[in-house]
Structure 1
Amino acid sequence: MTDLTPYANQVAALLEARHPDAFEIMLTRSRDLAVEARNGQLDTFRCAEPFGVAVRVKVGSGLGFSFSTSFDEAALKQMVEGAVVGATMQTPDPFCVLPAPLPGGYPVLPHLYDPAFFATPDQEKVERALELERRVLAQDPRVKRVRKCSYSESVYQVLIQNSLGVAAQYQGTQLSLSASAVAEAEGGAQMGWDFAFSHRLDGVDPEKVAAGAAGKAVALLGARPFATMRCPVVLDRHVAAQLLEVLAGSFLGENVHKGKSRLAGRTGERIFSEQVSVRDNGLLENGMGSAPCDGEGVPQQDTALVTSGILQGFLYDSYWGIRLGAASTGNSVRGGVKGPPRLAAHNLHLQPGRSTPEELRAGIGRGVLITDVLGMHTANAISGDFSVGATGYYLEGGELVHPVKGIAIAGNLFELFNNVELVADDLRFFGSVGSPSLRIGELDVSGS
């Protein structure tokens, strides 16, 4: 890809002419491809090549932000002017800072970029989506149709530098495959979905995606409710990751300061079961949020948040680190050039245990395996209280007896993670959050 340094130098010259106290430049360029197959034909083909720049300008105790998707001289001057005006008009805030460079440079992440993306024709990528649909339909005769099969990729380049000496530039690639299948039998229908993500073009197995989507749909055929009970519950790793994602904000320094985290002031205390350890690893191989640096040029790192149930600390960017007397953990993120950086996790996950998913079910007299939940967005991220619809399987004697639907699970997430008895070895990420399967001692399950 093109070296972004000349573009950064062009913007830097305009910024220096305004003599701010400090400034930051962020450039990003990408080629994004999205393909969807339906009914054996290409249904969607979208290709875009966005290129943009964002600046932050520090004047006194103010920090202004502006961006441009045009590199026309007039547009860049207008962007710089907007950032300067924003900095001067902002209410003074002594914690508005730009980071200084750290010794040691940036970590090397060779897994982040795969040149094969450029060497492979788009037609082959279209065929991947079409082939995925064929594979899904071939899994089982009860799979009657495929709602959608998608292939998406991005080849991107990022530059971040500031007037204090921070200078980072890296490139990356990523792709994802996803499939949604519908199975039908005896007048009933069930849907199953699966996906895969990789930074490498050959890092995704379409057969696994097809088998996952079709298998989930078929396995739920004949699902029925059962009587309400309080019982042991096994949470599929997808469900466990969704629950952990609700609590992600509790580990952010910003929410600790604003009273939006129940974990404030509890560093060093046991907050979860000793089976539970949580990390945010911004350097994780094949992690969706992995990169050499965060959204303001601070090196990303592997941060322990909970170790054997004990709270170790929180996540910070430069602003909230200085405000709360802590060092940045490299957790500033950006969604592109159109918004300023914000504090967030990169690859938040619950660390895997040593048990197999089958061992989690062993010994359960009567219980439930939860494979999907509905309405998790309604959970209270501060208190942890939740009540959501669910599907899965009724367990008896540790065995799967029959699929279940029309049930609900309710409780408190902090109590749930404090009640974890076993952790499986099947860690998987679903976006930027991952988890293995979990066995919970007891949970309220509402049925018929």
Structure 2
Amino acid sequence: MFELAERLLDYSKSKGFSQCEIYIEKILEKSFDLKNETDFSKGLTETIGVALRLVKGKFVFFVNSTVNDEKSIERLIDNASSIGFSKKIDVQILPQLNEELSFSEINLFDETKIKDAVYEMSSIAKNADKRIQNVKSSSINTIEKHIWLMNSYGLKSHQAYNTVDAQVSVLAKDKIEEIGWYDQKGFSLDEIDFENIAKTASIRAIEKLSPSSFSTKKLSVILSNEVMSYMLRYFFNIFSAQSVIDKTTKLELGKRAFSSSISIIDDIFAKGGIKFFVDEEGIKKTPTIVVENGELKTFLHNTYTSNKLKSQNTANARRYGFVNPIKVGPANFYLKPTDKSLQDLFDSIDGFYITEIMGMHMANPVSGDFSLGVNGFLIESGQKTHYIKASTFSDNFYNILNKTMAVANDLYFTGSVGSPSVWVADCVIGGEN
């Protein structure tokens, strides 16, 4: 692919662009899915795309295409000034580096072993309890990703890695019906506990079969690792330097922003996350402490924001696919876990354990305000006692991180953003009046 990138780079220069960047992405996805315990299917999707950033005068032009034939990409370059997405620039936007970087860690997956594991998870889930009516889905998905990048300053990088994700969804019935779901991610099949995935999905469904009523109360809350990772992902942009430029964050460098229990790291590698040794502008990534004991140490940057704000580039350029322009995004952005278990948090409170949220997309990403539908469990004497469905939880994300009393050790990732479960004080959970 570097040969293609070099030809496109030379062609772009010949058309009068003073700065050029060629980004080529290849993604190979394989799916192995067993539906309703009997219907097995296998899927394969391969996508190869190219994205170009081309600078002429005070404007940058962005064009992209699937890689079918080179001539069609050259035609895009010919017409970039008229058909490409354009933006006026006031600072340097491409890394001015002349170096080569390469990081490749590809695991080979045994497809026979994968298929066996899919059937095994389905069987374990079905036999976990007589109230499991159906295993709706037992699946394993693998993704292999390659990125090649070159720019006109001599920067040349290649990054390759793969991931595996196994998940089970079951239907339980006892007067009412409930769904239970669980997944685990890793970089190899050996990292995945297939038995635990199946059993946990079944337990989650069974636990919800006897819901109780609940009156509105102010109490301590534990946000599950899944819930907290969703919330942290949704509000990620408050930690982006772009939000400083756009004036859409309340955070200030060097000031205490949150509870001293909160430390946030953006890392190159994390189990359950991704491998991100080079960002998507070709800059080598190093671990970054974003928040330490409640104090904001840095915003996250790409080349544009670091030059605009005259700050250190943290190598957080992300594209989210070749069709999208560069943004500031997470590598492996996570709330730092402690040595406390989830049970330790349960033992610390009588309160509410939130396991599911609805309506996160309606939250205000600037102010931090949210009003969510929630499901979860009452916690009494360290145990889950009653399942509570369709309650409400209204608060503010900044407040949540200020009221965090303790963080557990059960780190879970949603995409590139992760969190353990957290104990938050003084929350109002709405129920029946």
Query: TM tier, shorter chain?
Result: over 0.9
Of residues 390, 393, 410, the one that matches 2:394 is 410
Give how far 1:40 is off: 2.6
- State the alpha-carbon separation in 1 of the partners of residues 406 and 383 from structure 2: 17
Of residues 26, 41, 46, the one that matches 2:43 is 46
Q: Which runs of 4+ in 1 moved over 4 A?
A: 84-87, 105-108
Give how far 1:13 is off: 3.2
- State the alpha-carbon separation in 2 of the partners of residues 101 and 132 from structure 1: 48
Q: Which amino acid aligns with 2:334?
A: H
Give how far 1:91 is off: 5.6
- Please say if residues 177 and 196 of structure 1, whose CA atoms lie closer than 8 Å, have aligned partners that are also in contact: yes
Of residues 17, 20, 39, the one that matches 2:17 is 20
- State the alpha-carbon separation in 2 of the partners of residues 91 and 412 from structure 1: 34
What does the per-residue CA deviation read over 1:318-353, in whole Å, with 9 as the maximum and x for residues that have no partner? 111111121321111122222222221122111012
Structure 2 SS opposite 1:7: helix
- Please say if residues 150 and 178 of structure 1, whose CA atoms lie closer than 8 Å, have aligned partners that are also in contact: yes
Pairing 1:390–2:378 present: no
1:76 corresponding residue in structure 2: 73
Q: Which amino acid aligns with 1:205?
A: D
What does the per-residue CA deviation read over 1:142-198, in whole Å, with 9 as the maximum and x for residues that have no partner? 11112222221122321011010111012211121121111111x122211111112
- Please say if residues 65 and 86 of structure 1, whose CA atoms lie closer than 8 Å, have aligned partners that are also in contact: no
Structure 2 SS opposite 1:202: helix
Q: Percent identity?
A: 25
Alignment of 1:121-140 (within 5 A): 121=111, 124-140=113-129
1:312 corresponding residue in structure 2: 297
- State the alpha-carbon separation in 1 of the partners of residues 72 and 309 from structure 2: 37
Pairing 1:422–2:419 present: no
Given the superposition, is the C-alpha separation of residues 414 and 73 from structure 1 closer, same or farther in structure 2, using an over 3 Å criterion? closer
2:263 corresponding residue in structure 1: 277
Q: Which amino acid aligns with 2:13?
A: E
Pairing 1:97–2:85 present: no
- State the alpha-carbon separation in 2 of the partners of residues 444 and 91 from structure 1: 45
Give how far 1:285 is off: 3.6
- Please say if residues 237 and 243 of structure 2, whose CA atoms lie closer than 8 Å, have aligned partners that are also in contact: yes
- Please say if residues 233 and 369 of structure 1, whose CA atoms lie closer than 8 Å, have aligned partners that are also in contact: yes
Pairing 1:357–2:354 present: no
Given the superposition, is the C-alpha separation of residues 85 and 327 from structure 1 closer, same or farther in structure 2, using an over 3 Å criterion? farther
Of residues 288, 296, 308, the one that matches 2:281 is 296
Structure 1 SS opposite 2:191: coil
What does the per-residue CA deviation read over 1:183-226, in whole Å, with 9 as the maximum and x for residues that have no partner? 111x1222111111122233222112112211111112202122
Gaps of 5+ in 2: none
1:188 corresponding residue in structure 2: 176
What does the per-residue CA deviation read over 1:336-391, in whole Å, with 9 as the maximum and x for residues that have no partner? 22222222112211101232212212243x42111222222222221111221112
- State the alpha-carbon separation in 1 of the partners of residues 396 and 358 from structure 2: 16
Structure 2 SS opposite 1:380: coil
1:113 corresponding residue in structure 2: 106
2:356 corresponding residue in structure 1: 372
Given the superposition, is the C-alpha separation of residues 401 and 40 from structure 1 closer, same or farther in structure 2, using an over 3 Å criterion? closer
Given the superposition, is the C-alpha separation of residues 241 and 84 from structure 1 closer, same or farther in structure 2, using an over 3 Å criterion? same
Pairing 1:169–2:158 present: yes
Given the superposition, is the C-alpha separation of residues 287 and 177 from structure 1 closer, same or farther in structure 2, using an over 3 Å criterion? closer
- State the alpha-carbon separation in 1 of the partners of residues 13 and 348 from structure 2: 69
Higher deviation after alignment, 400-409 or 159-168 = 400-409
- Please say if residues 273 and 418 of structure 2, whose CA atoms lie closer than 8 Å, have aligned partners that are also in contact: no
Higher deviation after alignment, 214-223 or 66-75 = 66-75
What TM-score does the superposition give when structure 1 sets the normalisation length?
0.90
1:7 corresponding residue in structure 2: 4
- Which has the larger strand fraction? 2
- State the alpha-carbon separation in 2 of the partners of residues 58 and 404 from structure 1: 56
- State the alpha-carbon separation in 2 of the partners of residues 143 and 15 from structure 1: 60
- State the alpha-carbon separation in 2 of the partners of residues 91 and 32 from structure 1: 33
- State the alpha-carbon separation in 1 of the partners of residues 364 and 395 from structure 2: 11
Gaps of 5+ in 1: none
- State the alpha-carbon separation in 1 of the partners of residues 16 and 161 from structure 2: 34
- Please say if residues 272 and 412 of structure 2, whose CA atoms lie closer than 8 Å, have aligned partners that are also in contact: no
Pairing 1:218–2:206 present: yes
Give how far 1:90 is off: 4.4
- Please say if residues 42 and 126 of structure 1, whose CA atoms lie closer than 8 Å, have aligned partners that are also in contact: no
Pairing 1:250–2:250 present: no
Q: Which amino acid aligns with 2:423?
A: R
Give how far 1:95 is off: 2.2
Structure 2 SS opposite 1:257: helix
Given the superposition, is the C-alpha separation of residues 92 and 244 from structure 1 closer, same or farther in structure 2, using an over 3 Å criterion? closer
Given the superposition, is the C-alpha separation of residues 228 and 126 from structure 1 closer, same or farther in structure 2, using an over 3 Å criterion? same
Higher deviation after alignment, 40-49 or 413-422 = 40-49
1:241 corresponding residue in structure 2: 229
- Please say if residues 22 and 59 of structure 1, whose CA atoms lie closer than 8 Å, have aligned partners that are also in contact: yes
Q: Aligned Cα RMSD in Å?
A: 2.2
Q: Which amino acid aligns with 2:106?
A: Y
Pairing 1:328–2:313 present: yes
Give how far 1:287 is off: 5.2
Q: Which amino acid aligns with 2:94?
A: L
Structure 1 SS opposite 2:387: strand
1:160 corresponding residue in structure 2: 149
1:337 corresponding residue in structure 2: 322
Give how far 1:419 is off: 0.9
Corresponding residue pairs, total: 432
What does the per-residue CA deviation read over 1:293-325, in whole Å, with 9 as the maximum and x for residues that have no partner? 111111122211111011112011111111112
